[in-house]
Amino acid sequence: MDKEQLKQEILNVLEKRQTGVLASVKQNKPHSRYMTFYHDELTFYTPTSIETHKAEEIQENPNVHLLVGYDGEGYGDSYLEVEGTATIQDDQGLKEKFWSEQMSHYFDGPNDPNYILLKIKPSLIRLMNSEENSPLTLEL
């Protein structure tokens, strides 16, 4: 599979599923939690509050790992393993772009000063369980 085909397969997984796991580093140890992920091509965004531990952890160490796509339907489900770096984004345009009414449980709206996005820029993405030669790795 060439690089463009692999990229398309990765995007197909992202279109089907948004829930995944974000692992950051807390006191030199991994710290994981479920998150909702949005994407713009192969850049990931996840909403959170600036007042969370994950925001503090990312400010101290931007290295993160994501698992996205597995929905528990079976052992053959395709999913992604993503290594990358995260930054805190308070850009109003991005906050509006990725706002969803489901977030109103946590925030007053896209203008809420506590609402931020974590932007994850991958260095590599592994497509897991896609075919016999799995995993397939896309280095960025």
| pLDDT given for residue 132 in this prediction | 64
Task: Please state, rounded to an integer, the average pLDDT across all residues of the chain.
Answer: 92
| pLDDT given for residue 125 in this prediction | 97
Q: Give the side-chain half-sphere CA count within 13 A for 88.
A: 19
Residue 116 burial (10 A CB sphere; 0-12, 13-18, 19+)? buried
Q: What is the mean pLDDT of residues 56-76?
A: 87
pLDDT bracket for residue 38 (50, 70, 90): very high
Q: Which residue has the higher pLDDT, 110 or 2?
A: 110
> What pTM, to 2 d.p., does this model score?
0.91
User: What gap in Å lies between CA 121 and CA 119, rounded to an integer?
Assistant: 6
Per DSSP, 90 falls in state -
User: What gap in Å lies between CA 10 and CA 62, rounded to an integer?
Assistant: 23
pLDDT cut 90: percent of the chain above it:
76
The answer to whether 45 and 38 have CB atoms below 8 angstroms apart is yes
pLDDT bracket for residue 136 (50, 70, 90): confident
| pLDDT given for residue 73 in this prediction | 67
pLDDT bracket for residue 77 (50, 70, 90): confident
Domain ranges of the chain: 3-139
CATH of region 3-139, choose from 3.40.390.30, 3.30.710.10, 2.40.37.10, 2.30.110.10: 2.30.110.10
User: What gap in Å lies between CA 105 and CA 115, rounded to an integer?
Assistant: 12
Is the predicted pLDDT of residue 7 greater than 70, yes or no?
A: yes
Residues contacting residue 8 through CB under 8 Å, at least 6 positions apart: none
pLDDT bracket for residue 1 (50, 70, 90): confident
Residue (of 6, 64, 74) closest to 37 by Cα position: 64
Residue (of 130, 106, 115, 120) closest to 13 by Cα position: 130
| pLDDT given for residue 131 in this prediction | 67
